[in-house]
Structure 1
Amino acid sequence: MLLERIYDQDLAQASYVIGCQARGEAIVVDARRDIQPYLDLAAANGMTIVAVTETHIHADYLSGTRELAAATGAQIYVSGEGGKDWQYAFEGTRLHHGDTITLGNITVQALHTPGHTPEHLVFLVTDGAFTDQPGYLLSGDLVFSGDLGRPDLLDEAAGGVDTRFAGAKQLFRSLKESFLTLADHVQVYPAHGAGSACGKALGALPSTTVGYERLYAWWAPYLAADDEQGFLDELLDGQPDAHAYFARMKRQNKLGPAVMGERAPLAELGAEAVRADLEADRITLVDTRPVAEVHAGTVPGALSVPDPDKAATYGGWAYDPEQDSRPLVLLAPDQEAAQQIWDHLVRVGIDDVSGYVTSFDGLPLEKPATVSPAGLDSVERALLLDVRNRTEHTAGTIPGAEQLSAGKVLWHQDRLPREGTIVTFCQSGLRNSVAASALRRAGFDVVELKGSYAAWLEDQSRRAAVAG
């Protein structure tokens, strides 16, 4: 049996390829939309992808299930659980609790484990060439290494009202009635790792076991004592902000993500054509340089994505393709780098990229407005805005600052003053650059705090030392 994990560091997302070498057949679970890694892995192992499935309707990325099925002819399998409000709107075989998919000697069994979402499935895998007992569990967003899938995303990102409480209770039952009934030796492969917003304390380990989680997970004592209320209180406390683009992912994943097909290579664009498109406001330029270089001068109205390897995350924060019809033009050193950035962007449904430029030569530049911590009090401002997560804000912030995370600012403009200056900060300046560029493009007067909260703390320490 082949079991390979394909991991996206950008979104901290894992998908899996399970294959039977004897039959030369494979199934892919929780695929992303840039599907070449799955095709390459199957080809390298002499396998045909015959089935694609997913654990649930995802919120943090756009599913590649339909994309991969269209490219390979594989059969789609999706959850048929969760009730009428949680049924997929596209064609595919519906899986219910106990249903199986067979690849030669390999059996993949679906178990309905609601909690993170109502329709959530996990997949229990048995390698029949060795045993008739299951040995592996693709746990989706039920169990992570050291944590659990959060049950509040439907409230946070999908317009639900107090669904978190029912979800948390369902999660308690799913752990008790499904996960903890499995043998200790069963290897657990989750859909996310450290850095994902789908939980609050995800570990970085790529896998765990049922036995390890039974002994050492934070939730294990609550299950052992059958303390549902204690479990609910701990689970729901301190969950991080959910990014606003999650709502679009949920909706599109339920309806069925658009199938892109084979994408033509991006073309390098000339400065004269790009300048004309900028003047006519026909494109959105994406500046992928580090924050210091952006502050030295960038194209007016450009979006800052200061870490190209996080283009899906930051792009999802700064650009809403449902509200902005202007295609993106990427700053990239060459075509290969531009294609890689585009691969990241399509993972969050940002598909319309018209080309790339290798430099800003010949384009208008301006320096984004910034202020040092020492000069902060001299800025006449309408709002001091902390764009970190609410948990960071609660742990300590600049006096008078209000909190709205960088992943939400573009979708909550009604909470921001249209008149006057907004001074923004994060922890070190990276997230702040993304949020500030999005707000400037939306018409707000924004000044970034240089070095953000970390620099402000250093300035406060310096002042205290001088005063002392």
Structure 2
Amino acid sequence: MIIHQFYDKSLAHASYAVIRTGKMIVIDPSRDPQPYYDFAQLNEADIVGVIETHPHADFVSSHLEIHQTTGATIYVSKLTGALYPHETFDDGDVIELNDIKLKAINTPGHSPDSICILLEDEYRHDNAIFTGDTLFVGDVGRPDLREDVGNITAKKEELAKQMYHSTRDKLMRLPKNVIVYPAHGPGSLCGKNMSADLQSTIGREISENYALQLMDELQFVKTLTTDQPFVPKYFGWDVEMNKKGAVKLNEGISLVPKNSTIEENILVIDTRNKADFRKGHLKDSINLQNGEKFETWLGSIISLDEKFYLIASNNSDLDIMIKKTAKIGYEGNIKAALLTPDNSNERSVDLDIEDFKANEQNYTVVDVRNWGEVNDGTLFNNPVIIPLPELRERINEIPTGKPIVAHCAAGYRSAAAASIISAKIKNVPVYDLGEAVLEVNKIKP
């Protein structure tokens, strides 16, 4: 038996392959199915099934494409209301791969239609459980993403109650040595307290996971519904897309026009590094750099129906960025993808760090970190607090009587924020504090 984890660090997403005697099951696949095809070929296995633990909110799944390409059966809970060819997979249902079994366990909580998959090995021992977004290492799935989307909607308090019983009545009753394979790791917005580890055991989670400690249902609901991270704009859209099944990846990205003339009044997303962006960019463009969390920030800043141009410095990078955009289902939003235009003549202004250190009161400081970070303490005196996902809608809350300095925790988000602010506020300089936030903050008393 082979169990293999595929991990996409950009979306903190884990998917899995289970192989036994030449047959392979894929669990919670990403938008690009090629890694699963390659792994099957490497191990001389046929992909015979795809299991979706629930309709994912944070990425587009390739379950339908894998079915269309390989003929593999898609398994999903009957509660999903799936609109693609599938077999239902709920409590009591079993998939057999020769002498091992994959058994469905309904575990509502993150979503009403969530399932976990318990693997019984060839020795008839419960060996591992694929927990989707129900149980993470150090956390459980947030309960507030299905209040308005999906086949079944539910208020977060009701889903939190269901999570209480899914964990206590089902998962925590499993043998303590059962290995836990979750669908997400640290950095995912599907939870709030994930460990850096990408697998665990039931026993370890019972011992260490805050959500599995002794508490009554009311206390659990309050704990789980408090201090959850922000919800990107694209999450509900992806739930509905995954319920239907997405078009094949290459078909989707092949429709993206390239090297088009840029029209006015359409947003421009410049994915180059900020050093190049600062030297020359199109007027009012947003610098959302090619980085580990590009997809999340793109889907947090850009609305579902908003068109944009996508810019990169070379064709290889451009293809990468188109594919990254497709991972959250936004390839249809791309008006055109193109290399840096010749008329990229706008330059960013440079902040005098020493003057800022000495005269912070002469600047308007905009803190674009997330609320969870801000609640742990601000880094400067009296900042204007507007998390990056809210910035475009709240620009008018920024005072314009002083030069503006945007900061985050390490420099990625502040580059995007400074470009967003400078596109709308023209009467004062707008600076990006960038990585200097680490240096400046050290000298504060």
Which TM-score bucket, shorter chain as reference? 0.7 to 0.9
Q: Give the match for residue 179 of structure 2.
A: 187
Q: Give the match for residue 364 of structure 1.
A: 344
Shift of 1:257: 2.6
Q: Give the match for residue 4 of structure 2.
A: 4
1:69 paired residue among 64, 67, 70: 67
Q: How many residues align?
A: 433
Structure 2 CA distance for partners of 1:435 and 1:142, relative to 1, 3 Å: same
Distance in 2, matches of 1:321 and 1:194, equals: 25
Shift of 1:399: 4.4
1:291 paired residue among 274, 284, 302: 274
Q: Give the match for residue 106 of structure 2.
A: 112
Shift of 1:252: 2.2
Is the contact between residue 59 and residue 249 of structure 1 (CA under 8 Å) also seen in structure 2? yes
1:387 aligns with 2:368: yes
Shift of 1:192: 0.4
The unaligned stretches of length 5 or more in structure 1 are none
- Deviations for 1:28-53, whole angstroms, at most 9, x for unmatched residues? 11111111111111111111212112
Is the contact between residue 314 and residue 434 of structure 1 (CA under 8 Å) also seen in structure 2? no
Is the contact between residue 90 and residue 104 of structure 2 (CA under 8 Å) also seen in structure 1? yes
Is the contact between residue 142 and residue 149 of structure 1 (CA under 8 Å) also seen in structure 2? yes
Is the contact between residue 115 and residue 174 of structure 1 (CA under 8 Å) also seen in structure 2? yes
TM-score under structure 2 length normalisation:
0.85
Q: Give the match for residue 28 of structure 2.
A: 30
Shift of 1:140: 0.7
Q: Give the match for residue 115 of structure 2.
A: 121
Is the contact between residue 387 and residue 405 of structure 1 (CA under 8 Å) also seen in structure 2? yes
Shift of 1:6: 0.5
When the two chains are superposed, the root-mean-square deviation of aligned CA atoms in Å is 3.3
Distance in 1, matches of 2:398 and 2:176, equals: 60
Q: Give the match for residue 412 of structure 2.
A: 430
Return the letter of the residue paired with 1:94. Answer: T
2:128 paired residue among 136, 149, 152: 136
Q: Give the match for residue 417 of structure 1.
A: 396
2:331 paired residue among 351, 360, 385: 351
Shift of 1:178: 0.8
Q: Give the match for residue 320 of structure 2.
A: 340
Structure 2 CA distance for partners of 1:45 and 1:89, relative to 1, 3 Å: same
- 1:52-451 equivalent positions in 2, closer than 5 A: 52-81=50-79, 86-127=80-121, 130-154=122-146, 163-222=155-214, 227-262=216-251, 277-278=261-262, 280-281=263-264, 285-320=268-303, 322-324=305-307, 326=308, 328-335=309-316, 337-352=317-332, 354-357=336-339, 359-360=340-341, 362-368=342-348, 373=356, 377-378=361-362, 385-397=366-378, 398-410=380-392, 413=393, 415-417=394-396, 421=400, 424-438=406-420, 448-451=430-433
Is the contact between residue 244 and residue 317 of structure 1 (CA under 8 Å) also seen in structure 2? yes
- 1:12-23 equivalent positions in 2, closer than 5 A: 12-20=12-20, 22=21
1:455 paired residue among 431, 437, 442: 437
Is the contact between residue 140 and residue 190 of structure 1 (CA under 8 Å) also seen in structure 2? yes
Distance in 2, matches of 1:440 and 1:12, equals: 31
TM-score under structure 1 length normalisation:
0.81
Return the letter of the residue paired with 1:432. Answer: S
Distance in 2, matches of 1:439 and 1:255, equals: 37
Deviates more, 1:29-38 or 1:71-80: 71-80
Distance in 2, matches of 1:87 and 1:346, equals: 24
Distance in 1, matches of 2:252 and 2:156, equals: 39
Structure 2 CA distance for partners of 1:435 and 1:74, relative to 1, 3 Å: farther
The unaligned stretches of length 5 or more in structure 2 are none
Identical counterparts, % of pairs: 29
Return the letter of the residue paired with 2:331. Answer: D
Shift of 1:179: 0.3
2:46 paired residue among 30, 44, 48: 48
Distance in 2, matches of 1:301 and 1:68, equals: 40
Distance in 2, matches of 1:311 and 1:341, equals: 9
- Deviations for 1:351-382, whole angstroms, at most 9, x for unmatched residues? 2455442x55x233202456554576556x7x
SS in 2 for 1:152: coil
Shift of 1:148: 1.2
Structure 2 CA distance for partners of 1:212 and 1:285, relative to 1, 3 Å: same
Return the letter of the residue paired with 1:426. Answer: C
SS in 2 for 1:3: strand
Structure 2 CA distance for partners of 1:251 and 1:432, relative to 1, 3 Å: farther
